[in-house]
Amino acid sequence: MKREHAMPFGATVLAEGGVAFRLWAPSMSPVVLEREPHGSDVVPATAHAMTLGADGFHSITVLEARAGDQYRFRMPNGLRAPDPASRYNPDDVHGASQVIDAGAYDWHDDAWRGRPWSEAVIYELHIGTFTPEGTFTAATARLAALAELGVTTIEVMPLADFPGLRNWGYDGVLQYAPDASYGTPDALKAFVDAAHGLGLMVLIDVVYNHFGPEGNYLHAYCPQFFNPLHQTPWGSAINYDGEASRTVRDFFVHNALYWVEEYHLDGLRMDAIHAIRDDSPQHIVREVTETLRAGPGRTRHIHVVLENELNESSFLERDADGKPRDGTAQWNDDLHHAAHVLTTGETDGYYGDYADAPVSQFGRALAEGFVYQGQPSPYREGETRGESSMHLPSAAFVSFLQTHDQIGNRAFGDRIHALGDPVLLRAAYACVLLSPHVPMLFMGEEYAASTPFQYFCDFGPELAEAVSKGRREEFGRFATFATDEARARIPDPNAESTFLGSKLRWEERATEPHAQWLRLIGELLAVRQRAVVPHLMGQRGAGSFSCEREVEGNRAGGNILRVVWRLDASASSLHMLANFGAPTAEGIAKPPGQTIYTSAAEPTGDATLRLARGGVCVTFQESFNV
């Protein structure tokens, strides 16, 4: 099986021989293609004048060109730029692009159709730090361990070519080129192929709200790509709604199709859609999701996960059959923030919005999805945030206790196991992993990895200094980093040691206490697969929650949490009970139904329990009755 996405730009190897090159630069002429034939130490580089069409595309077909050739575009002012639609840039973002025969890889997953979203258990990873080698090939060798754990979906942080040898990926500038530091396009395809062979879906994170600050040549020769009427933290916004925006929109719509068709991915995670500026009648997010579902989504499961700080449930609407109209799900930061306050006690910054009643906020997020559904946010100085999520199914929310953001945006990249109460953390994991939400783990979380995940990059000298200084100044508003001496301890993002210190140590999985956490996560995911997933397909609408304050003289402080969800069409229900407060709570009414998971909970009668602090009891009831 050979796969290639046809697109109206970039370099395309022709079946009849030769390569067609196309570049959109309406206001630039003449443009010259500079080509270095494969094995250019023998054959000299050649220059080819391109033809500018009425559509703003410069084009040429070079009959003697072939896969492996390297090429750039030379502008009238002498600027030499890589192809913005490059499939591969072996010498980084400032170097030449390489012609790739997209159909050359021989796939082995012909029968793969993906998996229903109800089966998703996501594992977010960064290719560069997931293994010591930091490559697609090394990551491929670790996939079997994730499948054995109970993971069903790999979510890879952005792969678009970024400047330097190390980056989180959100500074990508070549949207079609997997970063060469991770390996070749065929190595990425082999990673996806192997994942599918293990029953794992693969999503990649895409950044359609901005380009990175280094290596983006579009500003220099194609100003039509940006709309100065919309300003963002990164300068003029990508032009999704201004003059000539149709070609820009096509660039990103094709990018989504490219990853799903040419790399046979199972969908995307769209970064920070709240930062996209688009006032057109059809928002670019909707055009992308509709195009994916109308194309590859007709024959296999395709999923799109959104990150949206604004909690806009309108991007998560379902049709009459319960199928997503736009996004399949959204990262549920509200749940994370409440859980973080609950397990660590931290209330700085946006955590202050969840400080007053973290158990209640956590319960609301579990039951209803968003905590903020149009209420004023104290952290945002009273500005209202969010839309009602009461009508959405629980599967519209990807919920977690950690992500790359929530770890890496801390000064030292601390993981939650280094900060939180382990007793409460175990209870929180049970609540998240056994809820009807789609759960997500960040790499290494399954065994409480000791390594941090720090912010790292590899910019050129001038930008590197500004980034390092800016990061340290950013933390200056916190009392802990009020002095120059304290801020100087914050790791330099551009230092290689910051990157190397963030790499996982896989050997920890076999040692305590890491092995104990690994056993817990594996047990919870096994219970989820056996007792929860079979009942999720028809789940719709919010659940309900309550917090009990006093039980038979024992002060529980409002920290006994109950959550109930109605599940599938058979009117079954899932009940969850957890003690996040009192050392021991006596006489707690046992949830109805069959117990599917219990921890630190002892029967004290036919219908009551003694719950230790961190105790959890989860039951499944055949007929719904709150």
Residue with tokens 């840039």: 89
Alpha helices in 345-383 (DSSP H): 358-368
Mapped onto helix, strand or coil, the DSSP state of residue 189 is: helix
Beta strands in 382-538, from DSSP E residues, in sequence order: 383-385, 397-399, 438-442
What's phi and psi for 273, nearest 5 deg? Answer: -70, -20
Mapped onto helix, strand or coil, the DSSP state of residue 198 is: coil
DSSP tally for the chain: helices H, then strands E: 15, 29
Alpha carbon distance 285, 268 (integer Å) = 11
- Is residue 324 within 8 A of residue 313, CB to CB? The reply is no
Beta strands in 239-311, from DSSP E residues, in sequence order: 267-270, 303-306
Side-chain-side CA neighbours of 107 within 13 Å: the count stands at 22
- Is residue 292 within 8 A of residue 255, CB to CB? The reply is no
**Residue 418 is encoded by which pair of tokens?**
């280094």
Cα angle: 23, vertex 29, 34; to 5 degrees: 55
Q: What residues act catalytically?
A: 271, 307
* End-to-end CA separation in angstroms for the chain: 51
Handedness of CA 235, 239, 242, 243 (dihedral sign): positive
- Is residue 605 within 8 A of residue 418, CB to CB? The reply is no
What is the full DSSP assignment across 380-416? TTTEEE----TTS-GGGEEE-S--HHHHHTSTT---G
Handedness of CA 277, 168, 443, 501 (dihedral sign): negative
- Cβ within 8 Å of residue 223, ≥6 positions away: 27
- Is residue 107 within 8 A of residue 193, CB to CB? The reply is yes
- Is residue 294 within 8 A of residue 284, CB to CB? The reply is no
Report residue 354 CA to chain centroid gap.
23
Alpha carbon distance 613, 609 (integer Å) = 13
- Is residue 40 within 8 A of residue 64, CB to CB? The reply is no
- Is residue 386 within 8 A of residue 310, CB to CB? The reply is yes
Longest dimension (CA), the chain: 88
- Is residue 443 within 8 A of residue 504, CB to CB? The reply is yes
Cis peptide before 76 (omega within 30 of 0): no
